[in-house]
Each structure stands twice: as structure tokens, then as C-alpha cells.
A = this chain, B = another copy of it.
Amino acid sequence: MANSLRIAVDAMGGDLGPRTTVSALLDFLNSHRQVHALVFGDQTQVGEQLSLSPYKDPTLLSRIEVRHSDSHVIDSDKPSAVIRHKRDSSMGLALQALAAGEAQAFISAGNTGAIMALGLYFVKALPGISRPAICTTVPTISGRSYVLDLGANPVCSAAQLYEFALLGALTASELESIESPSVRLLNVGEESNKGRDDIQQAAALLEADTEINYCGYIEGNGIFQGGTDVIVCDGFAGNVALKTSEGLATMVGARFREAVGRGWLARLALLLLRGPLLKLKVQLDPALYNGAYFLGLNGVVVKSHGSATQTAFVRALEVATAAAEHNLPDVLSPILKHKLNQPG
């Protein structure tokens, strides 16, 4: 599908830094021969991980260019401080490379607020977009759905929710080849008079736009039901929904292990169920849903979970690459310019 493309990697983000990000990058490049990487971070730490490469492919290391940075963003850094003092951190330099066209995608497992701030600073927003939204896909009974915003904007206006709906619909249409993606607003009821004023106003904006396939409200229990391509909410609700789901899965897993115990009958039963359970794991493993887009930036910016495993970081690299192969921002830009009536 794609010719050679280059991805800018902030190697220092995430709980284990280069030990996860660089190892995952090697795995990824080994199976994606058309991709090159610009790796930003502490050159000693990055170099150590590169020297541990298990791959014999001689082209692999030649497809990686390491660029040293003296500083990196940490989780407790405030976005405003990062903009003042850490523009040349590994994250900042990687975003500068993206903005300059040296790379077609950016990835980091680091501080979300800092990615947003530096992204807006260097990469800028797409035409007409007031604030980017974090967007990921979630598994449903019948497939997967795009959900945004997941935490970048705890409070949103109706106009912003409308922008998110537009960004989500255009992205699902481009990346999943869905002709007219169905869009719903997350609310506390399905009747039109339910919920907050901002959501009711966003619904009116979406109903008025005949190019968006707006299908009404969806409640929390509908998120995983399938049948909706794009689910739109403010960042507070989105973050609560996704994190609560993670927590529930963890709790049920813990209670399941406790209930099943370690007796031989239980072990035998689990052995018999090994195939189906593995299949289920492959379908629902959070690692497979790692990699969230910052939709609305004028470049492919992808965030990995900070505690992502190597496998999960590989998945986020795939997400970034797919969006870059589709030239997502270039596809979105003229449509947004037209629809949101931006000059220029």
C-alpha cells in the first residue's frame, strides 16, 4: 500500500522508556520493511537497546536514525512548563521533525497533556478545529467503534462536540472505508430531551448537517454493543467510560481467578477452554486497542498507553503507520476547511 515512510519516535515516554519503545520499534521495523524511524532520546539508553536487537536483517538498523536529546518530558510536567522549558525534549524534537515533514507520523507513550501542548505548538491544529481530541477504537459485540474525546478536553462546548463528530466520521470513513459512518452522542438517556444543554445543542448542530449520519444519543451501555461507528463525548465522560471499563475487566478477572482457584479440576477445565480463551484474549486484549490518535492536529500524532507492553507499543506503531499511509491530515484538511468555513 505505502511507499517508504518515516515515523518520529519519542523513545523516552512510557513507564520503561527505551526498554519498551526501542525494543518494540525493532519488532515493528522487522515486519514493516517499508518503514524508517527517527528515534529521539538519550543516545546512550537508545543505543543500548538497539545493541540488544535480536534481528539479523542488515537493513533494519540502517532504517533507524537516532537523534540525541538532553531532556525529556516526565509525567508530572505541566503542559505550560513543557512549552516554556522542554521544547527540545525528545518529545518536542520528534514533533518538530513531524512538523518539518521529516516524518509522516509521531508516536509517544509519554505525558498526554504535553503531547497536546507541544503538538498544538509545533504541528498546529487542522483548519477550523479549536482543540484536538483523543480518539481510539474499542471492541464491540459486532466489531469496533471510534470513541472521542478520551480526556484531552474535560469540558467541551457544543461546537467542539460537533467538530469531534466531524473528525471522527471523516477518520472512520477514511481508515475503515465506511461510506457514511453512523455517529452518536454519549448521553444519560436516549430521549431527545435528556442530558446536558451542551449535548442537546450539539445534537441540533449534527441534525442540521446532512452530510453527517447522526443517529441520536447513545448511553454508556451502548458503547460496546456495536452498530455505531463513531461515539462522541467530552473528554471527562470519555475518560471515565474507558477507564471504568478497564477497571471492571481487572476486577472481574481477579474475582474469576479467585473463584476458579488452583485445584486440578479447575486447571483441567481451563486447559480445555484454552483455545476459546486465547481467541477471546486476541479479540479483547487491551494491547490490541493501544494507540490513540490526536485527531485535529495537522499531522499524525499517536499516543501509546504509558504502561504499554512491547506488544502494545507495536500495535500503536501500526496505528500510527496506517494513519500515515492514508495521509489522514491531508485528507481531512480540505474537507474541514470547506465545512467549517475557514479562510485560507
- The A interface, classified by DSSP as helix, strand, loop or mixed, is helix
Binary contact track A201-245/B, C-beta < 8 Å → 1, others 0:
000000000000000000111111100000001011101111111
Quick check: which of A38-46, A114-122, A266-274 contacts chain B, the rest being far away? Answer: A266-274
Q: Give CA–CA (A276, B252) in the complex, Å.
A: 13
| Chain A residues numbered 124-183 whose CB sits less than 8 Å from any CB in chain B | 139-141, 151, 154-155
Least distance between A49 CB and chain B CB atoms (Å): 29
A235 surroundings in chain B (CB, below 8 A): 188
A244 surroundings in chain B (CB, below 8 A): 220-221, 223-224, 240-241, 244-245
Q: Is the CB of B245 within 8 A of A245?
A: yes
Q: Is the CB of B196 within 8 A of A252?
A: no
Q: Is the CB of A249 within 8 A of B250?
A: no
Q: Is the CB of B250 within 8 A of A224?
A: yes
Q: Give CA–CA (A251, B221) in the complex, Å.
A: 9
Least distance between A161 CB and chain B CB atoms (Å): 13
Least distance between A180 CB and chain B CB atoms (Å): 24
The answer to whether A70 has its CB under 8 Å from any CB of chain B is no
Q: Is the CB of A240 within 8 A of B224?
A: no
Q: Give CA–CA (A140, B247) in the complex, Å.
A: 9
Quick check: which of A3-11, A92-100, A254-262, A330-338 contacts chain B, the rest being far away? Answer: A254-262
Q: A188-B239, A195-B236 are in contact. Are A280 and B251 (CB under 8 A)?
A: no
A219 surroundings in chain B (CB, below 8 A): 239, 243
Least distance between A110 CB and chain B CB atoms (Å): 15
Least distance between A239 CB and chain B CB atoms (Å): 4
A269 surroundings in chain B (CB, below 8 A): 268-270, 272-273
Q: Is the CB of A251 within 8 A of B266?
A: no
Q: Is the CB of B236 within 8 A of A196?
A: yes
Q: Give CA–CA (A225, B248) in the complex, Å.
A: 8
Q: Given B76, B140, B251, which contacts A251 in the complex, CB threshold below 8 Å?
A: B140
Q: A151-B188, A240-B237, A272-B268 are in contact. Are A224 and B196 (CB under 8 A)?
A: no
| Chain A residues numbered 47-79 whose CB sits less than 8 Å from any CB in chain B | 76, 78
A-B contact sample (20 more), CB < 8 A, given A76-B191, A220-B244: A139-B255, A154-B188, A219-B239, A220-B241, A220-B242, A221-B247, A225-B251, A237-B240, A240-B240, A240-B244, A241-B241, A245-B248, A248-B249, A249-B252, A256-B276, A259-B277, A259-B280, A268-B272, A272-B272, A273-B273
